[in-house]
Amino acid sequence: MIDDREGGINPYNMYDNCVNAPGAQVSTRFRLEYEYRTGKKLDVSQLSTVPCMNETAVTVYLNRADVRKALGIPTSLGPWSICSDDISRTYNRQYGEMAQRVKNGLDLGLKGMIYSGDVDMACNFLMGQRFSRKLGYKETKNKKHYIVDGQIGGYHTAYENLHFVTVRGAGHMVPTDKPSVAYHIIDAFLFNKNF
């Protein structure tokens, strides 16, 4: 979703067009992000454009009876949505900062990977890179590009038990924008392969 403050640029992928589907509505996710970021209620009438992301396909797919059955979702649960007002109204934030929680897990020997698309302005890669560095772990592999299908897929930095990876040309939804690169980095992470 974009508004005048974002200058007509899709914040989830700055090189992607915004979806201008007829009858598009403000997604719950955008409303929640806006209200969290600004501390104000969203006045939809003030928006100059329609949502940047069309969530129809994933919503229809994840609500199909055969998919819900395959995923083991009880029929007693309501339909899936990208964000739920029921959850957002009752969610009680327990932690304002996650660095110590991540450190606790890594200190127990868990492995972690933070990855970011490099054209995502909502959760940009610079924040992830900074977060990874500030955890204070020794860098075990300097930032270096990795190759997928003969092209630079992005950059990888390794720390003790933690990998930080960027995905070149991907926005907020890395697997949607760059599925083969997403597969490559997840496979490398899970099976201790070279990036």
Q: Is residue 17 part of a domain?
A: yes
Q: Are residues 145 and 184 in the same domain?
A: yes
pLDDT for residue 26: 56
What confidence score (pLDDT) does residue 179 get?
96
pLDDT value of position 86: 72
Domain count for the chain, please give it: 2
User: In this structure, what CATH number is given to the domain that contains residue 182?
Assistant: 3.40.50.12670
Instruction: Write down which residue in 60, 90, 120 finishes a domain.
Output: 90
> What sign for the dihedral angle of Cα 181, 187, 192, 193?
negative
Let me know if residue 111 belongs to a domain. yes
Whether residue 36 sits in one domain with residue 66: yes
Euclidean distance between CA atoms 119 and 125, whole angstroms = 8
Tens-digit pLDDT profile for the chain (195 aa)?
444 444 567 888 888 877 654 444 555 666 667 677 777 776 654 554 445 677 778 888 999 999 999 999 999 998 887 766 677 778 888 888 899 999 999 999 999 999 999 999 889 999 999 999 999 999 999 999 999 999 999 999 999 999 999 999 999 989 989 999 999 999 999 999 999
For residue 25, the model assigns a pLDDT of 52
126 and 181 share one domain: yes
Residues 27 and 104 in one domain: no
Residue 152 lies in a domain: yes
pTM: 0.73
Give me the pLDDT at residue 143, please: 97
Q: Does residue 34 sit in the same domain as residue 112?
A: no
C-alpha distances out from residue 108 to 97, 103, 105, 152, Å:
19, 9, 5, 33
Note the pLDDT of residue 3: 45
- Identify whether residues 75 and 111 lie together within a single domain: no
Q: Are residues 130 and 63 in the same domain?
A: no
Q: How far apart are CA 47 and CA 112, in angstroms?
A: 38
Q: Does residue 195 lie in a domain region?
A: no
Q: Are residues 85 and 111 in the same domain?
A: no
Residues 31, 107: one domain?
no
> Which residues span the domain enclosing 62?
4-90
Question: Do 78 and 109 sit in the same domain of this protein?
Answer: no
Identify whether residues 56 and 107 lie together within a single domain: no
Indicate whether 139 and 121 sit together in one domain.
yes
Give the model's pLDDT for residue 44: 52
Q: How far apart are CA 185 and CA 195, in angstroms?
A: 7
Q: Is residue 64 part of a domain?
A: yes
